Amino acid sequence: MVLTAIRRAEKTRVMPRKRVRKNPHEAETEIALDNVSVSYPLASGAQKTVLHRLNLDIRAGEFVVVLGETGCGKSTLLRLVLGQEFPTEGTVDVDGKRVRRIDARCGYVPQKYALFPDRTVMQNVMYGPENAFCGWTARLLPSFWRFRKSLRAEAAAMLQRMGLRTTDFHKYPQQLSGGMQQRVAIAQALLMRPPVLLMDEAFSALDPSTRASLQQQMHDLWQESRPTILFVTHNTSEAILLGTRLIVLKPHQEGDQESNVLLDMQLPQSSEPLSVRKKTRDFEQLREHVKHCAFRESDFEVERRAVQEMPRRVEASE
């Protein structure tokens, strides 16, 4: 009885294999936001609208960067896709299905607390796929151990790809630097092969040189396997360097009829290293243009405030 139940569980929960597209030439819609509004009732009785009539269509393989000043609703957008928050109006679909709860359709890399502190790097990375393979009732079956063995090799490859040394595999997160932790977090999310990878200010807490190297790595990674990425940031350079599509949001003003989207543009791609591209004239011009659109204050000022408000903002909106 028990054994058959376990077998059934094992059958139904299969590790997501590499996704096959029906038509390789026409990329399907991965994330669809249809007429989405989000508003909160305030203590005064008024309504605070964060997102207004947002229509967004993100296709598979796009690297979408969401940029905007503080309070423009970019984190809300990300939480909508994640399933941590729900629209007051309109619908959100990911991978062709309505978002009703947080699930494995999205990979998630937050700014902090991305890793489980009680597990080693390897355990952290393997946690998700193990869950996907079977529930913990079926863990005694030999098939699980075989799967685990192959998974371990895959995880090791992924970690090495992200720049970790094998000696780091059995360390606990707190023994690693912030940059290393984020690398592990990305590997952890990617190993699940989610339809969508969500990155919420993932590099904001890192120092500039670590940040640059992680950006390069992210860029290479996308070039290689073209996952769908929704990347939220408040840093203009980062946005332009990484994305294939840039969405700039503006805060919703009372009485505004149009949506929050200020700018929705495709970005030019090139294969040269980011550090080289950063120094080109084109890049400089583009950056000035976007910055001018996106921020009413100086970038420095926004960045300072954003960093200050970051942790509180997450809590306050929950």
Partner 1 sequence: MSATGPAFHLTDIQGRPRRLWTQSLSWMLFLVGILLYSQFSVARHKENPEDRVIPSGAQLIQGVKSAVLEQPEEDDPLDATATTWQRVSHGMLWRDTVSSSRRFFISLLLLIPAILLGLHMAVFPYAEAFFLRFFLFFDKIVALSLLPILFIVFGIDEWSKIMLMVIGVGPTLMLDTYNIAKSVPREQVVKAFTLQSSSLDVTYRVILKQILPQIINSVRLNLKPLALFLFAGEMIASTDGLAYRIAIMRRHMGMDIIIPYLLWVAALLFAMDALLRFANRRLHPWY
Residues that bind partner 1 (CB under 8 A): 13, 82, 84, 101-104, 106-108, 110, 112-114, 116-118, 127-128, 131-132, 135-136, 172-174, 188-189, 192, 194, 314-315, 318
Please identify, using beta-carbon distances, which residue of 26 and 318 lies nearer to partner 1.
318
Closest to 177 in 3D by CA, of 220, 226, 121: 121
With beta carbons less than 8 A apart as the criterion, state whether 184 and 173 touch.
yes
Angle at 200 between CA 80 and CA 20, to 5 degrees: 70
Q: How far is the CB of 132 from partner 1 (least distance, A)?
A: 5
Cβ proximity to partner 1, 68 vs 129, nearer residue: 129
Give 219-241 as a DSSP string.
HHHHHHH--EEEEE-S-HHHHHH
Minimum separation from the CB atom of position 104 to partner 1 (A): 4
Q: Which of 113/145 has CB closer to partner 1? A: 113
- Least CB distance from residue 24 to partner 1, whole Å? 27
Report the residue number, 98 or 292, with the smaller CB distance to partner 1: 98
CB of 102 to partner 1, least distance (A): 4
Provide φ and ψ at 274, rounded to 5°: -60, -35
Q: How far is the CB of 31 from partner 1 (least distance, A)?
A: 15
Task: Using the minimum distance from each CB to partner 1, give the nearer residue, 114 or 151.
Answer: 114
Query: What are φ and ψ of residue 211, in 5° steps?
Result: -60, -45
Type of residue numbered 16: P
Q: Are strands 63-68 and 245-249 parallel, antiparallel or unpaired?
A: parallel
